[in-house]
Amino acid sequence: MPRYLVVFGTRPEAIKMAPVLQALEEDPQATSIACCTGQHQDLLAPILSLFRIHPQYNLRVMSVNQQLSALTSLLLPQLEKILLAERPDRVLVQGDTTTAMVAAMAASYQKIPVAHVEAGVRSHNPLEPFPEEMNRKIIDALADLFFAPTQVERNDLLREGIHPSKIHVTGNTSIDALRHIASQPFSIQGSALEGLPLMDKRIILTTVHRRENHGLPLINICAAIRKIAQIYRNTAHIVIPVHPNPNVKACVHRCLGGVPNITLTPPLGYKEIVALAQCAFFALTDSGGLQEELTWLGKPALVLRNVTDRREAIDAGAAKLVGVDPQVIVASAIELMENAAIYRRMAQCRELFGDGTAARKIARILHQHHARSQEPSAIVTPEVTQAPPFSEAA
């Protein structure tokens, strides 16, 4: 019976790994061990509860203003201890976080195979997103089994020299999680969304947290949001779940606090963010995961990044890359608000990133891969030849 160690550390990782853990638990031929490194514990705890994830290990490694080097040096020996104690047959990591990268490194040091969920995602810019682009390329250099969301990621992996037999296009487990939550009843009453003018105004969902947007880019984004709020003060309402990172929180509150048709909320629960996205007219976002989810919900996205690693949404016309220039952001928002034809073309439900069955496909492939690895190999007796006599060059 194979033993899988599933490692995750952030809220998006937990959301995307929850369907995988469930699929593995439904397989009587597999044992899964969940390890949560506990980055942003306050954001993680509600997700663990929502998806009923009970990690066997919870490292709680995050500290205030923690640097990437400190996090890496802290995680590596702790994960090594768990690997030595559990001796899994395989380690599963998801995405592109520092947790995923370090877990892949720790497994490789112990000669334990690594499977990468959401493999092959690329922006082709090493600094955007940072450090995610670097992390996922390191993971894919260490992994031997790759679960690519779409053919786009498969093609990128092939260009990087990964053998086709190791790549499996499964869709993204983010859509699995989204479909599960979107199908459940949700009451606005008593939630963080109560009091918002969801039926009276066009809602613009806005999320911004990317590291490369800290500083001047975020100031410019906030200036654009303030201008959009001013132009549509009677017809639109902007809702911003504010990320707890001090570099984000302080800037957003300083620039946008007190604007009548802007609501700044603490981070929302996953059910609430899905419900808000369903109610939204469109979204302004620099989130990778939300770019995927909005396409399935049929909501246009204006992507607040210079490059995107979700090219499928851009190519299909479901999202538009607007960067961090205030004039471009404002013009693009006005276009969606004023041009019904453009809005309709973008606002179509699409299954660009999967149909909600990715986790079951992953579990099935893992089972098949393990079964093949247990098959007795043919014994080959090498032909013995006479070695030539040793001689030193004159």
Residue 57 bridge partners (DSSP)? 35
The span from the CA of 198 to the CA of 334, in Å, is 20
Distance of CA 79 to the CA centre of its chain: 21
Let me know: does 213 contact 286? Beta carbons within 8 Å. Answer: yes
Q: In whole angstroms, how far apart are CA 25 and each of 11, 17, 68, 175, 232? A: 20, 12, 32, 19, 49
Nearest to 289 by CA among 151, 129, 54: 129
Task: Specify the amino acid at residue 363.
Answer: A
Residues serving a catalytic function are 96, 118, 132, 209, 211, 243
Alpha helices in the chain (DSSP H): 11-25, 41-50, 68-86, 98-109, 132-142, 151-159, 173-182, 216-231, 246-256, 270-279, 288-297, 311-316, 326-338, 340-346, 358-373
The span from the CA of 3 to the CA of 371, in Å, is 13
Residue matched to tokens 């995602």: 121
CA angle, residues 153, 357, 310, in degrees to nearest 5 = 30
Tokens of 17: 């790994």
